[in-house]
Amino acid sequence: MGAAGPPAPQARRRGHQGDRARTPGGSGFGGTARHAVRARAALRPRTTVRPRAALRARPAVRARAGPAGLPLATGNRNPVRLFVPQPRRRDVADIGAGRRPVVAVLDTGIGEHPWLPVGDPADDPVVEIAPDFQQLLADSEAALAAASGHQPGPSLASPNDQRDVVQPLLGLTDSHSGHGTFVTGLVHQNCPDARILSLRVLHTDGVTTDRIVLLALEWLRLRVQAALDNGTPEDLVDVVSLSLGFYPEADDTQTGFLLAEAVRKLTDLGVTVVAAAGNDATARPFVPAAHALNADGSNNGNKLLVAVGALNASGKTVAAFSNEGDWVTRWAPGNALVSTVPLWQGSGQGVLELENGGYTRSGPDGDDLTTGFAVWAGTSFATPVIAGLLAERLADRPDPTDPTDRPQRAADALAEVDAHLTTLGWKR
């Protein structure tokens, strides 16, 4: 979708949802730009009419009152102080697979945090970025905007989580800023031995396009295939964490088909794709997660595509906001989770602030993330929990000598995770 350039970036990315465009040449990979995919960090009151073609990912939930004023979720990127040590990583030499499992996180990027150092894979960082992918994506978006006659919107060339893009003159932290850093921290907590490949595909208001997501999935497929062809296991990807999706319109079968095929190409290479089920308390299929089951329910449509619903913090009950249905194949806590956020200070302040004897007395400041941790809620955050548990099981499973055995390696790890979920009482 081309950017029209109105004052509000959110409106900019929604303004031309009827346009269709192919990915500019070079990659041989095309997709439509008809839809906007929203990674929602919140359940929000439905006070506006949404464009019928809009695609939105609903990874996180804004605390909102449900019927009779009942709260549906706990946590809306609320800063917290955490007194625990950083998860301990083993040396690569002590990992059974002989390498770190790699989890690709497609989200808002990665922010500065002491738990999540970014670097070259040769230096064994926690987080790897892909400048070549980000530049490919930025060039593609710019070319599409030029071809459509629209002004390009904010660039995705930087891999970094951004703070105040939507209304920069106010300095307030955008609704989905820090979302990718939060997801990355949850993978790290559940599998400290993993290396996390951060691909920035979402803007700070949670919007992207199906074409961008398709481009990212194809880029990952090419990376994995090249690693297999060239015998470079350090470049393999084991798990993809997708905290985004959309509800297909009745007259649009192409977008869902393209996403299903892109996911299938990855799972055929032994990459497990973990996707959020959505936060609208509905059984309506949320794609790509819903592709885990065939539309007619006849079988598991793709056994290495894992659709994740959210439980409450105890793991004993389903979170009120979570979608569900036969297509939701795994469950994990997604309400009131604590994870990493960038070390940011926005312009917002507490609702109460008084100067008293040389010090300041204040209410909580939701725009002060300098503690580096926050509490948030959504199926978006249940998703990296499962992704991390999978990576943990893959860490000690050596790569098969025959690449065609990689799907079985992934399936065996998923079976181990299922047994663990049963033990925890999270299996539904």
Give yes or no for a contact between 217 and 258, defined as CB atoms under 8 angstroms apart.
no
Cβ neighbour number for residue 117 with a 10 Å cutoff: 12
* 125 closest CA partner among 185, 193, 182: 193
Give yes or no for a contact between 274 and 383, defined as CB atoms under 8 angstroms apart.
yes
- Close Cβ partners of 274 (under 8 Å, ≥ 6 residues apart): 239, 240, 241, 242, 306, 308, 383, 384, 386, 387, 390
Question: Exposed, middle or buried: residue 211 (CB in 10 Å: 0-12, 13-18, 19+)?
Answer: buried
Cβ neighbour number for residue 412 with a 10 Å cutoff: 12
* 320 closest CA partner among 1, 67, 84, 50: 67
Whether omega before 45 lies within 30 degrees of 0, making that bond cis, reads: no
Give yes or no for a contact between 349 and 338, defined as CB atoms under 8 angstroms apart.
no
Which residue numbers are catalytic?
107, 179, 380
Tokens 């990855």, residue located? 266
Tell me phi and psi for residue 179, to 5 degrees. -60, -45
Q: Rounded to an integer, what distance in angstroms lies between the CA atom of residue 404 and that of residue 344?
A: 45
Q: Rounded to an integer, what distance in angstroms lies between the CA atom of residue 311 and that of residue 292?
A: 19
Element (H, E) at 212: helix 210-230
Dihedral angle of Cα 119, 121, 127, 133, to the nearest 10 degrees: 90
